[in-house]
A and B are shown apart, each in its own frame.
Chain A
């Protein structure tokens, strides 16, 4: 299976997770052959098995908005609902008595945290790697690469509560970060620790950094960078863990925490609540009470195109881990607290359809009486391409992004206005082209070793600033031609122009103009119905030098929109 094409990948990068087949079947409570999993089972978790090597499955989860699916535990919940037993998964919690105190100094730095305790874990290889993987996926994909959500997991028995969520000066307390042997200041960690270098940009500009620290002044972590080696290391010997999620918005933090504790609970852990004390406000987390929703049966059938009875719909929803009860023509629903993606009945409809099975539904090609048409400028461009190819010229295609040097300096022009990108990836691709000929000269400069004569053309869009437009810019469809050989002159390119315009039945006039990219006295403006729509001439040797071209070049550029309108 090939990587998901980015041109249809609008929802963000989908997570790929590694799962042990045996571990998955154990959590489902039923042995499912890999083939059956591939063909059907995994589809219930919006997944696709990308690779199966022995016991190891690589699974793409196609939903970037369902962090609850990004672990073996989450996948198992969905498959169990369809193959073993469905209904709402219930999560019991009790008080841990642990308090986390949040300093008001965190405002503007990393203001929020929600926390939990999970006890009596039996951590073994799979559960440990799943815990780390889920923590990673949630903070990268759902947590916007730790910006919105950073997750810390600690060995509870090494912490002396109460815990403080506070701030620290960059050169404040030293502690040993995870996987290191010597104690470093937070500023040193940002510079020296691999995670510091990777995520340091999230803190760098701040006067103080966020920090979790316990009552014995033992540092837990500086989120979102790194835990301490002493408290923040979870191993197979760890029995009880403390989990915190920190960030800027409870809407992200609460579901992230719920996803984490639900997964640990599915492996037999006991969830306990933590009191998070803010200045003037107390949260008790995790909050795992199921949420209520309603689905209208008629709406379900209208959107799905299926004629489902209310009983059938409820059964399909129970398989999708809802608690669904008919109430007249409506279905009363409870859904688990780890889900944060349900905003509208539509979201529930999809879950019904997934339970039903997308591939069991008859696909109906819509029979609508519509008349197809191309945009006139596209069909005109096509006609012009055919004429140009008929003249023996090779069509080329360039990027629209370029740089000012190519557009202006190398064309012997003073810098003009152009659309400029702020967050460039490379200076080579930093502005939108305002005309086409530079693209063609660049093309020729890369083909000096190729057989001559060379004749090329391009039809494409350019963007120019235009304050009258809604987008302050205007796209124009243009065509440019360039010819080069040991001997080539004005008459060669003007005859190309003439054959094109005669073929199109367009009357035109050539008038002498000045254009610094061309040789003085060998450049003309192309006028149609009194309006200048382009220019044609011999390229200035100064320009040839700048492009490192050693043979004469003649060229033309034409506004195709100006030709039709």
Chain B
């Protein structure tokens, strides 16, 4: 009994320690974004008074609301497209038999191993030739499919019992009907993680949006952060404010996605 109690205490202690370690950088960022310059030079943990000047400054230097809107549109479409193209391909790889399956899967995985820096100029030329510069399509299309999404969903589909599919197909369900009516809902937990992951990856793009867009109306959040870091190299406060501004939408997406995951996780647990 005593053992069990000390074990529980250890678990709590570990959880609290890790949670603090992981959260402190974000909280600290928030804290610095409210500081005045003296607090920064004095190395304070908390601001002596809360001020919003740094946010005003960050918004003056870069129109973050426009950037956030664009990034939401672009990341949203990219995520949707990757899940769509990924689910289709993953379903074929996991649930169907066909010639060249293994080879095609390897070819797809190989796309993850090509450094994007090596192909970005060629892609720019393609987009420019198609007259798509400075459009949302230019930002979305080259990222509308990703091997990571295919691989991830393939693993999830492989985890499903084959009998479910066989039974559905015997009931007269087509493959496609099975995929969106049964398959996708069943892999919801890992889909939640995938959605967050893909969304965040596209939230992170810098060089590609910079290359294919010209006008401030089309730019995305990382360029906003770039404007701040390039011009405010010595004053971290507006930079931290900018970082907070672009963190908020992504954390919201995370919380929504995580709810999906957790409901999926518990659903799975009940069945298991």
Do A and B share a complex? no
